[in-house]
A = this chain, B = another copy of it.
Amino acid sequence: MHAIVKSRPGPGFDFLLDAPDPQVGPADVLVKVAATSLCGVDRHVYDWDQAGQAFVPTLPRIPGHETAGVVIEVGAAVQSISVGDRVALESHLVCGSCMECRTGNAHLCSRQTILGLSRDGAFAQRVAVPASACYPIPDGVSLEEAALFEPAGVAVHALQRAPSLLGQSVLVSGCGPIGLFLIELARIAGASRVIATELSPGRRLLAERRGAITLDPAAVDVPTEVARLTPRRQGVDVAFEASGSPRALGPVLESVRVAGDVVTVGHPGAVSVDISKLINVRYLTLRGVFGRRLWETWETLGELVSTGRLELAGFIDDRIPLDALPSAIAGIGDSGKVLVIPEDRS
């Protein structure tokens, strides 16, 4: 089959015309890929920087983990999924029997593998996964929209870790794709005002188009401006950190009102937090997200998209064929989403 392969250490991806077809075990399904969305993680793998090397333990590897398609083959033991089913794939493949899987936290499975990183992914015409990783796409949701469920689910998960946003003021730090999903979801969830911070003028514009008041953290003092914009509480009720920048977190924490909530979505690494002032005396609650809750996050997202409350198509910026990916990836920005569309030769 056609596939993108990370064949060897060092920068680059190869486009292969004759990659071997995935093997389908008795509990697996084979999915004909309809669309796979590009993620910042793919860029790290392409560049083979430190993060990219940490994500991918062995080579060769087919990348691609935000994907949807149609089931074209099912293993002998599969009962819940049938040939012809339209499915989006959970990229975190979990064991189902460890302590986390047994106690409602399967997304934290201690034995999970990740599609496109620690097992072959979906920048290919076909991908094989356990049937248990399939989310049946609700009627009225296109395969292209379904390919965005994986990244949009991270944002939905972030809202599920926060109190209800009805009538609450919200800060979103960082206006990449996840930040834009958060802005849109905060508005849908009834936030009274959404403030967003972002260095890039282009992304600030996208945030403003979705109704956010934007701040440039290079130009203003974020906590001061947020306090001015939230006169009754002198800070937002809930903040989401989605920039992944270590420098962003401090101002975010200081922009939240007393007894407010912070959810970290980005991955800034180790950051200094003033425990005395923020966590004790200002009484903040700090939580993060990883992946999507199985399957509460998917069900909520499916409802939002299938009923038209959340329109995912508007987040798609471009579509490219599989063989264009290696030359295109370096030039791709990350504020909207680019879909990779394998040609149909099945």
Contacts and interface: CB of A to CB of B under 8 A. Distances in A.
A166 interface: yes
A288 B267 contact: no
A249 interface: yes
A200 interface: no
Given A166-B189, A283-B290, A303-B167, A271 B268 contact: no
Contacts of A288: 275, 278-281, 283-284
A151 to B, nearest CB: 15
A138 B273 contact: no
B294 A102 contact: yes
A346 interface: no
A22 to B, nearest CB: 21
A322 to B, nearest CB: 31
A183 B133 CA distance: 36
Interface string A94-112: 0001011011110010100
Contacts of A100: 258-259
A221 interface: no
B290 A287 contact: no
Contacts of A284: 287-288
Interface string A219-258: 0000000000000110000000100000001000000001
Given A258-B110, A300-B167, A303-B167, A138 B232 contact: yes
A276 B283 contact: no
Nearest to A139: B231
A192 B276 contact: no
A50 interface: no
A106 to B, nearest CB: 9
Interface in A57-113: 77, 79-80, 97, 99-100, 102-105, 108, 110
B249 A264 contact: no
Q: Tell me which of A166, A169, A271 has the highest count of chain B C-beta atoms within 10 A of its own C-beta.
A: A166
Count of chain copies: 4
Interface string A297-310: 00111111011010
B167 A309 contact: yes
A274 interface: yes
Interface in A188-223: 188-190, 192-193
A296 interface: yes
Contacts of A233: 99
Given A138-B232, A167-B309, A274-B269, A79 B97 contact: yes
Nearest to A109: B258
Interface in A295-338: 295-296, 299-304, 306-307, 309
A267 B280 contact: yes
A154 to B, nearest CB: 10
Contacts of A168: 300, 303
A146 interface: no
A186 to B, nearest CB: 9
Interface string A133-146: 00000100000000
Shortest Cβ-Cβ A-B pairs, 3 listed:
A280-B288, A167-B300, A279-B288
Given A138-B232, A167-B304, A267-B276, 8 more contacts: A100-B259, A156-B167, A166-B188, A267-B280, A268-B275, A269-B276, A270-B272, A281-B288
